[in-house]
Amino acid sequence: MLKLSEVSVAYGGLQAVASVSLDVAEGEFVTIVGPNGAGKTTLLKAVGGGVPLQAGRVEYRGRDISGLPAHARARLGVAHVPEGRKVFPSLSVLENLEMGSYRAEARSRRGEGLDTVFGLFPVLRERRQQLAGSLSGGEQQMLAIGRGIMALPDLLLLDEPSQGLGPRIVEGIFEAIAAIRRSRPITILLVEQRVVEALELCDRGYVLETGRVALSGDRQTLLADPRVQHAYLGA
């Protein structure tokens, strides 16, 4: 479904991503992990259309989308849930969710999307008329993910969904991510610093360090790798 070939991204002369190649098959759950500053968020933005490529190619279902703006990629079925949640604070929970159903297909199935989101996050149903800016951090993250689901995407990009949240909230967020995949056929690309939780959820993963792929493999291979255990698991 998704293929990155020798993708590079630079900001003002600083190389954030350097010649990264990866692929995600239809229906697969792939995780990108690594330390702060490794280029994970930049790489996800490159997929979603948030940053221009310095070099390389992004293909989606065999089509080169490297030059397409973010809104055009969204119309193709790519939904990006950004780092830091970025909900619309002055709009209600329901209005935020409705903003997510911008694709023609999603607009016609808005009720179905809302049922899915409220099933995953019952607190959002309870607070659907509440202003998004008054929600807790965890609730805002649920709302951001829910807004992404409202687009009925084929490819869901999740950027650091656990950022700044307590352990119990994080556990619920990860359980919801797993439930999303069970609720409908979907492909997920997750960027995450919580290495154990992220790798346990996924089918395959990539370890990014200083803008390059340092390791890749299925979850069991990566969790058993001595380099991963030493660097990220404290073993």
pLDDT, average across residues 63-92: 93
Burial class (CB in 10 A: 0-12, 13-18, 19+), 69: exposed
Using CA atoms of 151, 1, 188, 159 in order, give the dihedral in degrees to the nearest 10: -80
Q: Are 42 and 94 in contact (CB under 8 A)?
A: no
Which domains does the chain carry?
Answer: 1-77+154-235 (3.40.50.300), 82-152 (no CATH)
Q: How far apart are alpha carbons 64 and 46 in whole angstroms? A: 13
* The pLDDT of residue 31: 96
Given a cut of 90, whether residue 207 has pLDDT beyond it is yes
Given a cut of 60, whether residue 158 has pLDDT beyond it is yes
How many residues are listed for the chain in this entry?
A: 235
Q: How far apart are alpha carbons 40 and 29 in whole angstroms? A: 16
Residues sharing a CB contact under 8 Å with residue 101, sequence separation 6 or more, in sequence order: 107, 109, 110, 113, 150, 151, 152
Amino acid identity at 191: V
| Helix (DSSP H) and strand (DSSP E) numbers for the chain | 11, 10
pLDDT, average across residues 171-185: 87
Note the helical H segments in the chain. Answer: 40-48, 70-75, 93-100, 104-108, 110-120, 122-126, 137-150, 167-183, 195-201, 219-224, 226-232
pLDDT, average across residues 92-97: 96
194: left (phi > 0), else alpha (psi -120 to 50), else beta?
beta
Residues sharing a CB contact under 8 Å with residue 30, sequence separation 6 or more, in sequence order: 22, 24, 188, 189, 190, 202, 203, 204, 205, 206
* The pLDDT of residue 98: 94
* The pLDDT of residue 234: 66
Given a cut of 80, whether residue 232 has pLDDT beyond it is no
Residue 3 DSSP class: E
β-pairing verdict for 204-209 and 29-33:
parallel
pTM, full prediction: 0.93
Q: How far apart are alpha carbons 229 and 235 in whole angstroms? A: 5
Of all residues in the chain, the percent with pLDDT exceeding 70 is: 99
- The two tokens of residue 80 are 């990006």
pLDDT tens digits, residue range 104-119?
888 889 999 999 999 9
What value does the CA radius of gyration of the chain take, rounded to a whole number of Å?
A: 17
* The pLDDT of residue 235: 56
Given a cut of 60, whether residue 148 has pLDDT beyond it is yes
184: left (phi > 0), else alpha (psi -120 to 50), else beta?
beta
